[in-house]
Amino acid sequence: MSQEQSMGLRKLLEKAELLKQGAEARLYRTRFLGKPVIVKERFPKRYRHPVLDEKLTHRRTVQELRAILRCRKAGIPAPAVYFVDHSSHCIFLEEIVDSCTVRDYIVSTQQQTEGQQLGWLAERIGQILARMHDEDLIHGDLTTSNMLLKHTDGAERQLLLIDFGLSYISALPEDKGVDLYVLEKAFLSTHPNTEELFERLLQSYTKASKKSEPVIKKLDEVRLRGRKRSMVG
């Protein structure tokens, strides 16, 4: 990108609204080509060695782009990519207006009711993940903060996946099993007493996926591995 274009990008970000600073990147909200966008900026991490930092940041940006593209081609809901700047590691993404994270949704629902109303959500998540894994796409960082629920006019709420920085392509049941294991751990740690809900998610996954059996088997193995690990010292 030329010097002028970099300056232009910096000016745009200065005027944009900083939404949040996640673990990986800063998110800004602004308008681009007349559309509401979220700019995801993977800023340099000063705690890392500069060579490692540059390699890692670039890799994460590229992995994310490839994963989103793959998702959308397969009909899995994810935000559209409008523009990329590799020198500053910025991705311009479609803003999903009127949405909240699945995490926030579950937390607020659990506060209000006994949580039985979340069965449909668990099923939907299972279905989407099944489709994603059938495409041999591993998300790499599945948590309820990385799923969005869009409030649409009808009763149907759309579920989208986001945050593909750790994603990669793999057909191995082991990798898919670990992907689900990461979600299980994040799910159960963040939302206590949801073991049944997660079981429903897995059942929905099993039904929806064509290659689920070996994956669930691997998931059980990985779970045991955690139990069996000798923790010395």
Q: Residues in the site for another protein, rule: CB under 8 A?
A: 21-24, 45-49, 51-52, 55-56, 140-143, 145, 166, 178, 182, 185-186, 188-190, 192, 225-233
Nearer to another protein, 35 or 49 (CB): 49
Reported as half-sphere exposure (CB side, CA atoms, 13 A), residue 17 has a value of 8
Least distance in angstroms from the C-beta of 142 to another protein: 7
Least distance in angstroms from the C-beta of 42 to another protein: 12
Least distance in angstroms from the C-beta of 111 to another protein: 14
Least distance in angstroms from the C-beta of 29 to another protein: 18
Q: What is the DSSP letter of 113?
A: S
CB 57 within 8 A of CB 90: no
Angle at alpha carbon of residue 18, lines to 17 and 24, rounded to 5°: 150
Question: In this structure, which amino acid lies at residue 147?
Answer: M
Three-state secondary structure call for residue 20: strand
What is the distance between the alpha carbons of residues 94 and 136, in angstroms, rounded to a whole number? 24
Nearer to another protein, 75 or 233 (CB): 233
Question: In this structure, which amino acid lies at residue 33?
Answer: L
Angle at alpha carbon of residue 96, lines to 202 and 198, rounded to 5°: 15
Active site residues: 141
The token pair at 175 is 């990798």
Token pair 């996640």 in the structure block, residue: 22
Least distance in angstroms from the C-beta of 72 to another protein: 22
DSSP bridge pairs for 108: none
CB 133 within 8 A of CB 176: yes
